[in-house]
Amino acid sequence: MVDSSQWESYYDNADHIELLDHAGSRLAFGDRFNFHTFGFPINAQVMELVAPTDGVARISWHGWQKDAADANNDLDVYHAFLIEALAGKRVRVLTQESQIGQPAADMAKQTPNPMLNGHQDWLDGLVRAATR
């Protein structure tokens, strides 16, 4: 998760990933980055990056899209992951995202829900990457 250069190898819904504050691909606390997801160009900043302590790690970012031509296209999200080491070499990954804006409201009305399915694809991709 911290190495953004790996995202595209296990998650088809993230591309054009660009870190803005330093060279390389490893995210650090406070880093700003851009990427495309769900068809939107997102500006983002790492808000939380906590290495595993007592078997639990956290990473989260605030992401946004501002459309100067049409505020109805604005989007504001907060995406968090909690990663917990469990007995038996197992890992639990919990993710949650809050979304504000008309594009998010429009996606929430779709069946199947592209946001729920997209985030499940991210989790499934993490499992595949971890078991290679």
85-102 tens-digit pLDDT: 999 988 899 999 999 999
pLDDT of residue 57: 96
Residue 4 has what DSSP assignment?
G
Strand boundaries in 1-132, DSSP class E: 15-19, 32-37, 40-53, 56-65, 75-86, 90-100
What are the φ/ψ torsions at residue 66 (nearest 5 degrees)? Answer: -115, 125
**Whole-prediction pTM:** 0.92
Distance CA 10, CA 129 (A): 6
More confident residue, 129 or 20: 20
Average pLDDT over residues 104-120: 94
pLDDT of residue 54: 85
